Amino acid sequence: MSHFTYKDGALFAENVALRDIAQQFGTPAYVYSKAAFTDNFSAYANACAENRRGDAGALVCYSVKSNSNLAVLNLLSRLGSGFDIVSGGELQRVIAAGGDPRKVIFSGVGKSAEEMRLALAHDILCFNVESVGELHRLNDVAGDVGKQAPVSLRVNPNVDAKTHPYISTGLKENKFGIDFDEAMAAYQLAASLPHLKVVGIDCHIGSQLLDDAPLLEALDKVIELIDRLAAEGIHLHHLDIGGGIGITYANEKPVPIGDYLARLFRKVDQWRAAKHNGAPIQVMFEPGRSIAGNAGILLTEVQYLKHGSTKNFAIVDAAMNDLMRPAMYEAWHGVQPVLQRTGSTKIYDVVGPVCESGDWLARQRELAIEQGDLLAIMSAGAYGMTMASNYNTRGRAVEVMVDGDRVHLIRRREAATELYALESVLP
């Protein structure tokens, strides 16, 4: 996380001291780096530009579910990003942030008719369809509004992403996509329905992949299916290989984005040259964590230090409602003191005030801290605020974006009165 560094013993976000952010905005606070978002997106965009000169091009569609703040979406839109959404609400966020709906792909297994109508009204780029039932519903909805819906089928290639089972999406037992062996029949059905236009194919096998071998294995299976479809007269215009590249939380060494994309484009180009006379096909990606994850931290204050005979606790003001990943996945996040102290350290579990034993943010961390100190929970830019809740009637954290030596408030902290404003008592 090169944009979060120590200077004279104090942790900074770009050129702003985190202790100054805490003093101005309070804690808990999500703090993002504009430069980190820009650099992480550019790793994809630059690799696409280097490898797709003179071809049908490539489109990076940022996965909105990873971090959906309007400022983040607006920044990425200005950088040229498309967007991968999984709900009608996310589409409305993209539009509110100034994103182009014609660069939106709509994924997700449970799209409602209302969401389909909304997406059709805004002429989105493509629906990633995940079941035969969805094909029929989308055809009916498109017919009702007098449109032809562009569709891509999300194909489940039964490739093991070798990641956490909760974020593995490409196996037969997962709820996502259409089974590879059933995909041909589904495509033939889609091609026969009058209000659908088959334009592409989609594959997403999981998240936090450190090695690109499973992704390239899935690509081989998708290529095989595209060739079979072409033999049946179904010609596709784009290939969406999904997202999934991981980030460094502790000591992981994910494959560099540029290396992965170079191998992928080489494979695609060799295939098109050999089987399709060099005919171009657009390639799409759906990265989320690899753009947002290390672009943000969760800033929190130590409320109490509780020393016991078998375990020590650092009780902070952030909790599982602010950052769900440790409780949900037993996920590991680095913890760094905002001000480095000299002297003896102790081993602490970093826990929150929520009334659940599962309310922990980090376990067994060696820290030299005192009550009132600030801690940074690292690598929290993805699936932090988007998974946050109001459990225990806790307002969600403030969000700020650092741009060089400037700090911008991009979401204020929720007040308790706002949490029950939609509720009413019985007469």
Residue 5 forms beta bridges with which residues? 12
Per the listing, tokens 């191998």 go with 263
CA 300 vs CA 10, 222, 333, 339, 352: distances in Å: 15, 45, 13, 13, 10
DSSP per-residue string spanning 170-198? SSTTSSSSEEGGGHHHHHHHHHHSTTEEE
What's CA 78's distance to the chain center, in Å?
Answer: 18
355 in active site: yes
Sign of the alpha-carbon torsion through 70, 72, 73, 74:
positive
183, HSE (Cβ side, Cα atoms, 13 Å): 31
CB atoms within 10 A of CB 171: 17
Copy the structure tokens of residue 210.
Answer: 């450190």
**Spatial distance between the Cα atoms of 239 and 281, rounded to a whole number of angstroms:** 7
Is the Cβ–Cβ distance between 398 and 412 less than 8 Å? Answer: yes
DSSP code at position 170: S
From the candidates 48, 61, 126, 355, give the one annotated as an active-site residue.
355
**Spatial distance between the Cα atoms of 192 and 184, rounded to a whole number of angstroms:** 13
What residues are annotated to the active site?
Answer: 355
